[in-house]
Amino acid sequence: MAEDFLSGFARRLKISDGRRDQVIRELRTHIEASRNDLELSGRPPDEAMRESLDRFGDPGEVADMLSVVHRSHLPKFKLVAIATIALAGLSAWLGTSHTFASGARHPIHHHQLHQSRGQANEIRRIGMRQVFVVPGPRGSDRARTPTNLTHTHGIGIVVRMARP
């Protein structure tokens, strides 16, 4: 009876195999301890098992709650690794490590965008955003985007850092 209960629970549990085995071991111990207590208090074995499962509650609900707990917490080093890979990918997508993109550090106006369009030696499309790559003096690298991209159709400027 307990094994059927735990099998159903395990099927509903959406976590890694290693973690799932540990959770099942832990819950099996719980149900056994509960059943033992009930038997010691005089309940027949079958009745004790039924009651211990009833006290445990809905296995599907518990499995769902545990799945959320274990899904929503990535180890910190994994988060750092994912962030690093994402930044590296973004950098590669922009095409050069000499291009610095940091969102709206320096809000710009429409007339600057039109001016930049004329100066651009390269125009790129990054997702929904059109970006003009314009030359700039050494050390002046920065990405500039309008304060409200939705109203400017997602246009931005990337000023490329002069190579040393």
Residues that bind another protein (CB under 8 A): 22-23, 25-27, 29-30, 32-34, 55-59, 61-62, 65-66, 68-70, 73
- Shortest Cβ 77–another protein spacing (Å): 14
With respect to another protein, which residue has the nearer C-beta, 19 or 109? Answer: 19
With respect to another protein, which residue has the nearer C-beta, 2 or 104? Answer: 2
With respect to another protein, which residue has the nearer C-beta, 59 or 146? Answer: 59
If DSSP states are collapsed to H, E and C, what string results for the chain?
A: CHHHHHHHHHHHCCCCHHHHHHHHHHHHHHHHHHHHHHHHCCCCHHHHHHHHHHHHCCHHHHHHHHHHHHHCCCCHHHHHHHHHHHHHHHHHHHCCCCCCCCCCCCCECHHHHHHHHHHCCEEEEECCEEEEEEECCCCCCEEECECCHHHHCCEEEEEECCCC
- Shortest Cβ 57–another protein spacing (Å): 3
